[in-house]
A and B are shown apart, each in its own frame.
Chain A
Amino acid sequence: MRSVLTALGIIIGVGAVIAMVGIGNGAKAQVQAQIASLGQNVILIFSGSTTSSGIRTGWGGAGTLKIEDAEAIRREVPGVIAVSEEVVSNAQVASGNQNWFTRIYGESAEYLDIRQWPLLDGAPFTSQDVRSANKVCVIGSTTASQIFGGTDAIGQILRIKNVPFTVTGVLTRKGLSTQGVDQDDVVIMPYTSAMKRVAGGTTLRNINVQVADAKDLATGQQQIIDLLRQRHNIRPGRDDDFTVRNQEEIAEAATATADVMTGLLFAIACVSLVVGGIGIMNIMLVSVTERTREIGTRMAVGAHGSDILTQFLIEAVSLSSVGGVIGIIVGVVGSKAISAIKQWPSLISISSIVIAFLFSAAVGIFFGFYPARKAAALDPIEALRYE
């Protein structure tokens, strides 16, 4: 009973570490999954950063990216396997007596491949559709259910700003983005159609570029920057009028928050481990006092100080390790429970379990050492006489 209470500190500490790291990793994995939903090996080029007059407009602000820029990238940057010109606008869309306010994405035919976004039903628009600015679109699953409910959307007419578009396909569900935006609440159409019939304008908000290999990301990014600076006649020393980000950078930025959270929770959990360790030290000191005569007897029959030291260290370590194992079970069950109740994802890694176990054993050694050394240093005569 006393041992259980002693180990409770370690149990709570280890349980907290496991649960917190599990939830932290779960959050991180979710963010990474969202980043991966951007597509693989993607470089994003946003128009705007600084205009020539020095007014910084932010990403997608000033229309500095032209269709010709995208074509130049497609043509001149080695390693590029797909490029999608992107324009974005918001519009009220309607079909029959249903209407819905959604985002309209204008893209190239390669867009769905770049984002690894398969269709649930129907067919994508083609590069022929893009060239001809045909009035066709594919829609996200949220848009499909809002406009068409349970009925088949393929071949239906969707009116966007009173222009009739034919729905050729419905996309599979992609879920929320890192910013919490419903990625399925979209209409995607050829960018030519979007520019001509919906959004107007002649500039792109951004360009999505996919390279063949992850190791081309950095070089591809630099080549795109060089190419665009040259095309935009930006003199050396002046700021770019566009912003280039590759997927790794975006992933790093997004997971940094999760890392900070995990680190913070881990620090709190470590504090409780230390408290647990002090509990073990306390009970070991009591135990050494209570068992003074036993220690004296052991020494009388030939135990060296080191034997006594080892014995009490083993006791402290087994106490903390058992606490660690129970804590791991509590942590795993706890994080599953939290993720079930709160709908948070949790991810328990083997490494966190191993580290938590080793850490709890280390706590036993660290906090068991002082009481064990005290026991080992006892004078056998005094210890035998102790009442």
Chain B
Amino acid sequence: MEVRAVRGVSLEIQRGEFVALMGASGSGKSTLMNILGCLDRPSAGRYVLDRSDVSKLDRDQLADIRNGKIGFVFQGFNLLPRTSARENVELPLLYGGHHLTSAQLREKADAVLASVGLQGREDHHPSQLSGGQQQRVAIARALINDPEVLLADEPTGNLDSRTSVEIMGVFQELNERGITIIMVTHEPDIASYSRRSVVMRDGLVQSDRVVTQRLDAKIEAQKLMHVDEPAQT
């Protein structure tokens, strides 16, 4: 028997959007995320990414799409241990036939690491970095191939609230630079950093609305600093 985790979802996401995908566990948001991330194919229906239908592609073709058009950010960072930040970021360039020299790889990786605020940390291994820094490395890895969309699956799930705000700051900054972001989260306050919030329930879209009371990570970060100050004295 076929279980339809997602049924009758019709969702259109424009370039440059910042969408939060919410829903309780079992609502179908993970399945939707896997399809959006080209990790899975829909058993029925169509998924059009960047004007081309990717719902009938085979394993290797999907891998190429993931390599070129999608950047993943995971809850558990998923960095390779015993591997430097730079090498982690270079990883997607090793696949998909880019044929770059090691100097070119290094240059690209260092530039992306700098854009997420990690200059000087290029040679650090994940174990030498804080959770927030590790997630920044993961974001840099997701951005290295200039993807059409950045897919973040509970990106703040393993981070404390302060670091979560920091990562949201990175996302907002990237979004302002025109990068499309789809973020799965179950925390409403994290979702309120996005521009559009989609709530799933029982495999259907329950609500799809623009975030009205949008939080700005810069301001929130400052608020947290003020909260901290009395505690320090």
- A interface residues (Cβ-Cβ under 8 A, vs B): 293-294, 296-307, 380-381, 384
Contact = CB atoms under 8 A, between A and B. Distances in A.
Interface stretch (B47-55, B60-68, B158-166, B171-179): B60-68
Chain A interface SS verdict (over half): helix
Nearest to B92: A301
B80 A302 contact: no
A302 B91 CA distance: 9
B95 A300 contact: no
Interface in B87-106: 91-92, 95-96
Interface string B76-93: 101110000000000110
Contacts of A294: 78, 80
A297 B68 CA distance: 15
A293 B145 CA distance: 21
Interface in B29-44: 34, 37, 39-40
Given A300-B78, A305-B59, A305-B63, 17 more contacts: A293-B76, A294-B78, A294-B80, A297-B74, A297-B79, A297-B80, A298-B91, A301-B91, A301-B92, A302-B64, A302-B145, A303-B95, A304-B60, A304-B64, A307-B95, A381-B39, A384-B78
B193 interface: no
B68 A302 contact: yes
Contacts of B63: 299, 302-305
27 contacts: A293-B76, A293-B78, A296-B78, A297-B74, A297-B79, A297-B80, A298-B91, A299-B63, A299-B66, A300-B37, A300-B66, A300-B72, A300-B78, A301-B67, A301-B72, A301-B92, A301-B95, A302-B67, A302-B92, A302-B96, A302-B145, A303-B63, A303-B95, A305-B59, A305-B60, A306-B60, A384-B78
A232 B145 CA distance: 95
A304 B78 contact: no
Nearest to A302: B67
A307 B80 CA distance: 16
A116 to B, nearest CB: 62
Nearest to B72: A300
Nearest to B77: A297
B196 interface: no
Contact of B39 (A300, A303, A304, A306): A300
Nearest to A307: B95
A297 B78 contact: yes
A306 B60 CA distance: 9
B141 interface: yes
A261 to B, nearest CB: 47
Interface string B133-144: 000000001000
Interface string B7-40: 0000000000000000000000000001001011
A304 B95 CA distance: 8
Nearest to B33: A381
A384 B96 contact: no
A299 B62 CA distance: 10
Nearest to B91: A301
Nearest to A377: B59
Contact of A302 (B74, B78, B95): B95
Nearest to A298: B91
A302 B66 contact: yes
A303 B94 CA distance: 8
Contacts of A303: 63, 95
A297 B67 CA distance: 11
A168 to B, nearest CB: 79
Nearest to B67: A302
A214 B223 CA distance: 101
Contacts of B66: 299-302
The 9 closest A-B pairs by CB, nearest first: A302-B67, A301-B92, A302-B95, A297-B78, A303-B95, A300-B72, A304-B60, A302-B96, A304-B63
A301 B39 contact: no
Nearest to A380: B39
B188 to A, nearest CB: 24
Nearest to A301: B92
Given A299-B63, A304-B60, A384 B91 contact: no
Nearest to A382: B39
Contacts of B141: 301
Interface in B186-203: none
A295 B94 CA distance: 14
Most buried by A among B63, B68, B79: B63
B210 to A, nearest CB: 30
Contacts of A380: 39
Given A300-B72, A301-B66, A301-B72, A381 B60 contact: no
A250 to B, nearest CB: 62
A197 to B, nearest CB: 88
Most buried by B among A296, A300, A304: A300
A260 B30 CA distance: 66
B72 A381 contact: no
B92 A381 contact: no
Contacts of B80: 294, 297
Contacts of A301: 66-67, 72, 91-92, 95, 141
A311 B213 CA distance: 48
A384 B72 CA distance: 11
A264 B215 CA distance: 79
Contacts of A304: 59-60, 63-64, 95
B174 to A, nearest CB: 18
A302 B98 CA distance: 12
B93 to A, nearest CB: 9
